Amino acid sequence: MRNNTIQYGAICELNGELRVPEGSSNPGQFNYNKYLASHGISYEMIISSMDDINCQDEGILNSIYKLREHMKKLLTNKFSEESSAWILALVVGDDRNIPEETIELFQRWGLSHILAISGLHIGLVVGILYFISIKLNIVTRENAQYLVIFALPVYALLAGGEPSVWRASLMILLVIILQKFKQKFSISDVISITFLGLLLVNPYYMYHVGFQLSFIVSFGIILSQKWLLQGNSIWLQMIKLSFISQLIIIPLQVIYFFNVNPLSILLNVLVVPYFTFFVIPMMFFLLAILPIRQLAESLDSLFRFVHHDVFLPMLEWLDHYVYFPWFTSYFPTIIIVVYYALLIAMMYNLHLTRSLRAFSYGVILTLLLIGLVTRPYLSPYGTVTMLDIGQGDAIVIELPFRRGVFLVDAGAGFSYEDMEPSDSIYQRIIKPFLHSRGIGEIDAIVISHEDIDHAGSVPFILEDFKVGAIIVSKYYEFNPELLEKLAGIELIRVASGDELRINEKMFTFLSPGVDRKGSNENSLVFHMKLGDKDWLFTGDTDMEAEKAILTNYSELQVDVLKVAHHGSNTSSNSLFITSINPRYALISVGKNNRYGHPSNEVLSLFEAEGIQVLRTDQSGAIMYRYTEDSGTFYHEYP
């Protein structure tokens, strides 16, 4: 029997095309193939219609998941949009209704753990069950424990069954069961048994970010509990808790988010108690009083005022004015080992109240982090990276010793409905790459021309990165939205013959010299020297512009050519190519694009001239790593 509803646990027969999932083609990009492999999935199936799925029966757990969906619909209908989004996130484990910008705000400030159901939530569930069953004399204490043993796994499933939920639930269940059998285990034994038990059930949990963060923070708190409990000040204990929680996740935060925000330690001291004593209890209380309509509406309004009108605007203000993250490219394995060795040594000495020795280890730990963040500024290597963004251009230039970071074009896809640029390429490729390289500021963006495949991601970059200058031709026509975003950013218009020096790097502009009445025709063409090679960046210029360049700069010779217009035969005239005599031709082009780029005519010309061609559709991102007197090309695909 065919149906369009797939029930949890059903046995299904599928008809479709089986293929290997695509991996990433750029550094820093989310690797879908690797992600699926970390969940034990090797293939994906492309199904053209739901009629190609034939499912029968359903699993035992499907009734629980049906109840979860019913709860979500009920909460969405009964509470305001703002309140229901947080109830669903903090009680049911579904944060899809929380605005994406809020989730990103929490990520930037190291507050993502608050959005995940964990020990605090499970503790509240247990407390509520005990209160209802014992304090109201419904059942005995022993029966209440059986109620908890039954209810916690059900709640873990209702809350989405994430590893952090199972960790907290299983730890409490294990403690209750051990007490019943009069067995004494330390809390470190309990968490270790839970850790090993979950991995035995599903070894792929080891790759789950929530699993990693949940256990490493829990281990850190347990091992530091004596130090955490020293002193009588609750605020001092909160600072200590935030301090150890943030320190212990720094390597994972760098690996997954490429930055560290030192001020997040202080912010956690304020935000964690706010969620602990107000937001999370309020969510459970709103759920409990759902049948009492007037009271529920009043508390709904109170929560919206406190959370949405006061707390979130305050967090956004802090994010705008005091967000100073440390961006770093990656955390080498050996440095991770040294980091945790130093952290354990520091905490051990704090545990023994050897303050001076602990302080010494803390100083070394801080210097290690500073060294990690400042590493690009000490490196004699520069890089030029042509990102694989499909049918478009985005080139990142990093000078040695991080003396400058320049972006040449930043293309985007677009919506066929309104032809407006989409932020998909920016979010998936450009932004992750910049963060993975430890880049938080861009000295200048050169926009060759107005087309979306070259300029579409610029507005999104201006929102997230500090940009020193925007460089365009004298004939560039800004749309009002982009022009508005340029407030406070230097706008430099250039033409053929102009030279511009930024951070000791010279840009020599060769075109356009006159207004050719077209965006491609008016593409900025410029020359610069990077390492021991001369580079020519051409945008989407045409053959007429190439002829003008040869007329005005007859002695022009280059080593590396960024091929114009994705290898179209409207550019790369044979006379032009022969005259400038490049050794390498870099083509940014989409796989199986509908334009037929690059053209066979252009490729044949390069082959005849003995020019090595590097293409993003075949090689993924193309990187040139160089020093002042040498350099090497690399590409993302093997």
Q: Is 69 exposed, middle or buried (0-12, 13-18, 19+ CB in 10 A)?
A: exposed
The domain segmentation of the chain, as residue ranges, is 11-56, 62-327, 334-378, 382-635
pLDDT in tens, 344-371: 999 889 888 888 999 999 999 999 988 8
Average pLDDT score over residue span 556-563: 96
pLDDT in tens, 14-40: 899 999 998 899 999 999 999 898 888
**Which residue is associated with the tokens 């201006």?**
462
Q: What is the DSSP string of 165-215?
A: HHHHHHHHHHHHHHHHTT----HHHHHHHHHHHHHHH-GGGGG-HHHHHHH
Under 8 Å between Cβ of 562 and 536? yes
Under 8 Å between Cβ of 452 and 414? yes
Residues 418-425: contacts with CB under 8 Å, at least 24 apart: 419/452, 421/452, 421/456, 421/457, 421/459, 422/456, 423/457, 423/460, 425/389, 425/390, 425/392, 425/394, 425/456, 425/457
**Which residue is associated with the tokens 């299904």?**
12
- The model's pTM: 0.88
- Alpha-carbon gap, residue 496 to 510, rounded angstroms: 4
**pLDDT, greater one: 167 or 143:** 167
- CATH second-level architecture of 382-635? 4-Layer Sandwich (3.60)
Q: Is 75 exposed, middle or buried (0-12, 13-18, 19+ CB in 10 A)?
A: buried
Say yes or no to pLDDT of 3 above 50: no
- Alpha-carbon gap, residue 478 to 496, rounded angstroms: 20
- What local confidence, expressed as pLDDT, does residue 203 receive? 92
Structure tokens belonging to residue 269: 């001291």
- What local confidence, expressed as pLDDT, does residue 1 receive? 41
Say yes or no to pLDDT of 618 above 70: yes
